[in-house]
Structure 1
């Protein structure tokens, strides 16, 4: 008789234990195959939360103690091990590893006392190794552990372990099995008859070693013990048990009803929720994605479609399918605001409905980086930059991901953001060579020629220009004449409103003259209108004059929701606009204000009929309108940049509310009839620009150092291959067969310079980044900026450089100089003296480093002072008034927030470079505190107020702190009346939450 138990553990209760993706599948599959292959086989299968210390210990006792002299015992364990040779259970605690794990010496003792004729223990875990391995690493340092694995083996006892004690037991991210278990399964399933365990060892060792080498690791299974006679496993069969575990799904054709997706294993409660959201079922784009392009069969796909075409739901369907298969799904988005919006939407739907774990990593204090690194999530949302940084510095996270959805994929063409998107995709494509191949769903707004983008991605292409709500586009001039193009292509000319309604309202003609009568006409027809302006100031001013002239009912309910403390000048202007039923949305509002405006505009009864916004609303924020008005067609700046056709089409695409209108309208403003004709040809009838790489062949340094950071090392002559693997290299090679030769020469000079700068080493014909080079390559800094940081740090005495000094020196980097700093035309020299007084003359002098002009230098000083005030808790109003020198160069909340965010974005990387240059690292807790202060704008003395049971806004924290409640303990001793007097209704909420928490803890 064969007695058997199979244990597989992916998930652990302890928050510090990293999740696995293949252990449960290993145990379940091997159990199923042997059950189908052995008559009257009745094994025990225990997985995940059932596999507790008590339960597993009892199973080991039962199986071994209950065995007779004629029995053979098979025990299988897949999961984490510890460095002192223990098996980790689902309820193992990191604060008591010895007391909540099963010691291998205990297992050896049980084996010796068992009466079983033979015992086979298959162990797919490891006792050393790091991130991608099956080992628990929570900082627990064991005492000298000896070598208990050999003690498990003996006469009639065989231990077959996945690897040597000093090696890693790996998982295959494609098959979702451990390399060791997969090799065993292949051996018994591919055999012609019974499989000798001893004879199988050599074959398993060969297969595991070869597959581990693909990932750049060494893994050699080992066997201890022996048996007299032959111990065999039967020829493997895929029968009823196996099919129950992996039901066969033939090609499923969907026709539209959401319920048809059940054939893909998507949970019924998700289908019910989707049916409520989309009562009409799947649209033509989504049906094509499933039927013609296999998005639910694991095929990668590039979807190019207009706004509101339903492409986001294609990624959503694929995510639920991947999760159903035990994989994880990640969504990559261009903006922090979009990450937060999607996180909240998915938490409300999938977190509450399906108990899925939703995480976000956008670069602020609420990030769940620890959960992501340990695999404790099902769906995660990242900004592009955060995902690139994590996937390069901690590449093991790619092992667990089954689906990557890149939203707004057209950003690959953006000069600033394109490099990040392209490096992400290059890394994912390169990972395929190591057997790491998550499904890729790239979602893009309408673009022109795809320029072989889908060929480079090696994926399907689904392209459509159809919109669920047709769009009429046109251009209107100052006479009220509207030249328009209908969805069917027909061109018409119409007088949209009476010419006499247009009158000059200022000293000179302006867009206001047309906007007021145009918006009045549209709003009078009950339409929801978005007016796009090209800068923050004009968007607020436009909202104010529309509110004053349109006579719309006040949006009082929205105004009442706005935060009442630490108001900026823009906060006051927003309230004035809402009093006339109009709102604006720009970077000068804080996050909470923007969210309230978005919700109020989406709500048919929210009271906001007209929204004036900057172009960021066009990039995925859910604010559908009836009509979109594009007031300008160029971005402001020293050298104004005209909108691309794609940027215009994105803005126009916000028009047409699904379920409300049968047609949307997009209207561009022009001054004259001639300009109307030109804009009509360029934007309305124009095709979006072809997709292209932002790779700059003349300046490849930043690209190369970041590409080198994605690999351990590389042959000296293969650097050009890294560059050729990018989209830019792929397109260049297609365009010019001689491109590789010329690029190789340029790269040879670059490598010489990088070696001289201490960024790379060459040994035995292979290049690898030095620690300094890797710090530069894993940072968002350009190569030139990284080296400038090194120069800056070497200028100052090491003992004079603390966290505050690094914070100030950041302002001297090129990335910060690119951040526009409002000041008078000749700069503000007084800022130099203020920096000297606050930070010291040596810091003020260091800020001169490579400054292009006095004005640039004064801008650096001004930014440093503003960021310092922000983290010290100076009110927004005081910062705005204190640094606004004249009305033509005001400092607004968006500038303050932008300076703090820009500093925070670079600080981690510069601190890492500083640790290498200075030979010392800052205290991690102090760094974490400073990063959080940059996020929230609070002084260190108020930091404990971030740990209260409800999240307080900056103004609320500062109000408590200034009134003597600087610690959690002081707040806990406040009366309800005291908290209400300071925080109004929020005071009630805080008091109730505190006392509920205290009652639970018994404090």
Structure 2
């Protein structure tokens, strides 16, 4: 008689070749964990592991043949499948074709027949999938029709010693937790808990009970279904983790590493990427990064808040967590505040992780290049998104969060920002609330310098790693007009003063004394201190940033930046383009919103590299927010913003700006300077900013915006008791802080919330059934919009006034200008200019008098009537492809208050962003309207690119600039085929020979 053999096959499928089948996160881990435990314990066996691309229909069938078909009367077979099922009881393979499911899936009926035919003494089949459920479940719609009375697990999987364990009942979803399917998670634990052989019958009851209890803990229902016959003493060996298991799951070992980056291989990170990291960081991991890995267990999946100065290496901490998750077949999401930052990171990640590791890197910023569908379906390894895009996508597509292993929030201090803070707080609140549903991705929040964390890490339920140490010491201080520099010596941490500028070096250069008088001699001294020094001068206005670059280009006698000049576009130039050209001839540049994308990238690239020819950069404060432009020294011309409030910089804002000083690998120390007029002002600014402690972290939560918060939070849950609505606010960071500071806050808030609920119901945004409330379709469209509640109310009132008969996308573009969010968008207007008063008449001609009448209502400033009209016309000219030179000259009524490229882009971007919110609200209010999604996509793409419809096919060639596309269209070239039909000489005649040669690299 032959001896007993243990035959095992483990199948786990995260990735699917068909783009219409959503990818999963934990299935591969499920199969790999079971295989590794089996292999480590039963060394003499040869368990089969099929994951992702290996798990084709043919290979899965071969596994069944090698186990079920070859087993004899003494053998025990264990088969485990983790992946998608279909509603018609079929298992989905990697190469399943959703359009041909009958031929490309594994039929459960056929598998049951194989079950019955097998000679094996005992068989255990574990299915961690489901055959019913919503978008977040391990199931896909198949459209196949059942025959007869349908398929029955009880009737099909029968026979002596045959046992089937399914993750859930036929009408339930199968959930995931802690990186595994809920069923597999319980099974792995059960297989390791016994001292001797495991009775399968007892194990089934134990696993089923654990799954039910764990699901209940998260407010879910999942009831494992097991059928079969345990006759004959069906046992399995107890499994123990060993080499294979710890190799696949190094986080279970508690591994500590040294500064040597290559030691991260112990966390199963590929050597390819470790070599690239080691080359980029020759000194290895710094103290902050080591603490994150060793003490705070970053690579073991522990959530973490990291607070550290600029250039301290905290971004690499988030990067390590993201790559660790991605290479472990989980998905990683990197969230950033600005589109420009997202695009910069996308280029870096694509070059490194796509090219060297084959990871799928995507981005979603609200642009036409977005990979939104790939994000929703999980067809990525690392996704880079702006805050707004992430919150919008995960709330609208609730299954997306189930697939994510780690979420990295860069620049988390934005939670304090008055306008953007609500988005950061809402997305973090959503992540925290998801834990109650068993969804708990690792959260890594990266913050620049702040004061006290104010309980932020406790609210996030994670540890805080806080460091004030800079990799490059900073000589931080204030300089006055006498040339005396008062500063902190970073070596001794003592206050020092020295005569940095010679007596008489500071002279008045204009009619009135100003910062320029100090900046010019100071820049001269700083650039002579070190060969290749890089200097950023922060100014609080676009014009001042351009001005400082202009006068330093004349006064410093720097060599021209010919390499940057060669990269600049030569068509559709703004007046700012000419000023940038002049600055670059003098070795300086500026960085503000008036630069085009191509101009900004060329300037940034030259400034950040060691031998780049741009040595001085005039910049507005937005450059301080994460853009990779470290400098040798930083100068602040002012310490307050411009505008109606003219508020001073916070200490945290100041610290982040001066934090740009000190280039690791280039400078032994950085230097920063605030410009002061007098000795008294120097001492005051030194005490306030240099010695000051950054403000505590706070929430942007405000009672004046309570209705907006309530509406946005209601979008995150299906329905709840009306009396529990205030509890949603208590779960926010703002609610956490308010409740901690004031025991009566919750009670008082309930009164306010009840008044808000009355308004929400009155406007048709919320409906009540018995004691429960939930959003209506109109409410859901409003809650998932970018609009504050007062804006939604204004929009609804405007729509009711014009009715549905005359609504079109073009008129909605004009109507969007009445929203408070657009009124808050800076629109240059010369108050006494006669030309400005003609704009309403032009709008009436193009869009109708009723639109203009609406512009005259709900005004906080009478001049908003003209600003709304002007914005509409500017946007209309922009999307028609009017040249930038023409737009600037047409809408500039006074040379001291010009309409510039930055103004046009800001207005167009704000219109595009909020139009995306307006259209779903209009569609929900007037279902009879046919506001075609494709037409909306076309319009928003035109708003983004500034092109007419006829020119849009050319945006497929991403290197073409707006000016080049307009020239091509004017010459009858309207799609890529037309373009590639031209020879290089002809193309050179249109856009310049150098650009033609460059484009030839992309010729198909």
Give the TM-score range, shorter chain.
Answer: over 0.9
Partner residue in 1 for 2:359: 356
Distance in 2 (alpha carbons) for counterparts of 1:208 and 1:291:
32
Alignment of 1:605-624 (within 5 A): 605-624=611-630
In 2, are the aligned partners of 1:118 and 1:227 still within 8 Å (CA)? no
Partner residue in 1 for 2:876: 868
Distance in 2 (alpha carbons) for counterparts of 1:873 and 1:392:
35
Q: Flag the 1:181–1:265 CA change in 2: closer, same or farther, 3 A.
A: closer
Partner residue in 1 for 2:472: 469
1:78 to partner: Cα distance: 1.6
TM-score by length of 1: 0.93
Partner residue in 1 for 2:97: 93
Distance in 2 (alpha carbons) for counterparts of 1:248 and 1:585:
43
Distance in 1 (alpha carbons) for counterparts of 2:854 and 2:199:
72
1:399 to partner: Cα distance: 2.1
In 2, are the aligned partners of 1:447 and 1:691 still within 8 Å (CA)? yes
1:694 to 700, 706, 714: 700
Distance in 2 (alpha carbons) for counterparts of 1:628 and 1:791:
49
In 2, are the aligned partners of 1:84 and 1:145 still within 8 Å (CA)? no
1:506 to 485, 507, 510: 510
For the residue of structure 2 that corresponds to 1:126, the secondary structure is: coil
In 2, are the aligned partners of 1:624 and 1:657 still within 8 Å (CA)? yes
2:31 aligned with 1:23 = no
In 2, are the aligned partners of 1:835 and 1:844 still within 8 Å (CA)? yes
CA deviation digits over 1:789-837, x for unaligned, max 9? 2222222231311211222211111111001100111572211111111
2:238 to 229, 236, 240: 236
Distance in 1 (alpha carbons) for counterparts of 2:545 and 2:697:
30
Distance in 2 (alpha carbons) for counterparts of 1:242 and 1:232:
25
Partner residue in 1 for 2:494: 490
Alignment of 1:34-433 (within 5 A): 34=38, 41-68=45-72, 73-111=77-115, 114=118, 120-136=124-140, 141-143=143-145, 147-150=150-153, 152-156=156-160, 158-172=163-177, 174=178, 176-190=179-193, 201-223=204-226, 226-227=228-229, 229-230=231-232, 232-240=234-242, 242=245, 245-246=248-249, 250-433=253-436
2:811 aligned with 1:808 = no
Q: Flag the 1:3–1:310 CA change in 2: closer, same or farther, 3 A.
A: closer
2:733 to 723, 727, 730: 727
CA deviation digits over 1:444-498, x for unaligned, max 9? 2222222222222232222222212211122222332333332233333333223
1:618 to partner: Cα distance: 0.9
CA deviation digits over 1:526-568, x for unaligned, max 9? 4321111111111112211211222211111111111222211
Q: Flag the 1:787–1:197 CA change in 2: closer, same or farther, 3 A.
A: farther
- Aligned CA RMSD, in angstroms, stands at 2.6
Q: Flag the 1:251–1:947 CA change in 2: closer, same or farther, 3 A.
A: closer
Partner residue in 2 for 1:999: none
Q: Flag the 1:516–1:49 CA change in 2: closer, same or farther, 3 A.
A: same
Distance in 2 (alpha carbons) for counterparts of 1:645 and 1:696:
22
Partner residue in 2 for 1:917: 925
Distance in 2 (alpha carbons) for counterparts of 1:244 and 1:476:
57
Which ranges of structure 1 fall in alignment gaps of 5 or more residues? 997-1003
Distance in 1 (alpha carbons) for counterparts of 2:251 and 2:726:
44
In 2, are the aligned partners of 1:37 and 1:234 still within 8 Å (CA)? no
1:383 to partner: Cα distance: 1.4
2:596 aligned with 1:590 = yes
1:680 to partner: Cα distance: 1.9
CA deviation digits over 1:943-1000, x for unaligned, max 9? 222234x542222222211110113343343333322222333334545534x3xxxx
Partner residue in 2 for 1:1001: none
Q: Once structures 1 and 2 are overlaid, which stretch shifts more, 700-709 or 4-13?
A: 4-13
1:533 to 510, 532, 539: 539
Q: Once structures 1 and 2 are overlaid, which stretch shifts more, 475-484 or 680-689?
A: 475-484
1:738 to partner: Cα distance: 1.7
Distance in 2 (alpha carbons) for counterparts of 1:975 and 1:761:
63
1:112 to partner: Cα distance: 5.5
In 2, are the aligned partners of 1:53 and 1:101 still within 8 Å (CA)? yes
CA deviation digits over 1:868-919, x for unaligned, max 9? 2212211111111111111122111111111111112222221111111011
Q: Once structures 1 and 2 are overlaid, which stretch shifts more, 823-832 or 214-223?
A: 214-223
2:920 aligned with 1:908 = no
For the residue of structure 1 that corresponds to 2:673, the secondary structure is: strand
Partner residue in 2 for 1:566: 572
In 1, are the aligned partners of 2:879 and 2:946 still within 8 Å (CA)? yes
1:831 to 812, 815, 839: 839
Distance in 2 (alpha carbons) for counterparts of 1:975 and 1:668:
55
1:669 to partner: Cα distance: 1.2
Partner residue in 2 for 1:927: 936
Q: Flag the 1:33–1:694 CA change in 2: closer, same or farther, 3 A.
A: same
Partner residue in 1 for 2:950: 941
Distance in 1 (alpha carbons) for counterparts of 2:806 and 2:844:
14
Distance in 2 (alpha carbons) for counterparts of 1:317 and 1:558:
33
Q: Once structures 1 and 2 are overlaid, which stretch shifts more, 43-52 or 31-40?
A: 31-40
In 2, are the aligned partners of 1:656 and 1:665 still within 8 Å (CA)? yes
In 2, are the aligned partners of 1:193 and 1:234 still within 8 Å (CA)? no
Q: Once structures 1 and 2 are overlaid, which stretch shifts more, 43-52 or 483-492?
A: 483-492
For the residue of structure 2 that corresponds to 1:97, the secondary structure is: helix
In 1, are the aligned partners of 2:25 and 2:404 still within 8 Å (CA)? no
Which ranges of structure 2 fall in alignment gaps of 5 or more residues? none
Distance in 1 (alpha carbons) for counterparts of 2:657 and 2:476:
11
In 2, are the aligned partners of 1:104 and 1:149 still within 8 Å (CA)? no
Distance in 1 (alpha carbons) for counterparts of 2:548 and 2:238:
73
Q: Once structures 1 and 2 are overlaid, which stretch shifts more, 95-104 or 683-692?
A: 95-104
For the residue of structure 2 that corresponds to 1:898, the secondary structure is: helix
1:194 to partner: Cα distance: 5.4
Distance in 1 (alpha carbons) for counterparts of 2:676 and 2:977:
61
2:971 aligned with 1:986 = no
Partner residue in 1 for 2:885: 877
Distance in 2 (alpha carbons) for counterparts of 1:451 and 1:70:
64
Q: Flag the 1:989–1:466 CA change in 2: closer, same or farther, 3 A.
A: closer
Partner residue in 2 for 1:1000: none
Distance in 1 (alpha carbons) for counterparts of 2:712 and 2:110:
48
Partner residue in 2 for 1:549: 555
1:697 to partner: Cα distance: 2.6
In 2, are the aligned partners of 1:81 and 1:127 still within 8 Å (CA)? yes
1:678 to 674, 680, 684: 684
How many residues are treated as equivalent by the alignment?
A: 989
1:344 to partner: Cα distance: 1.2
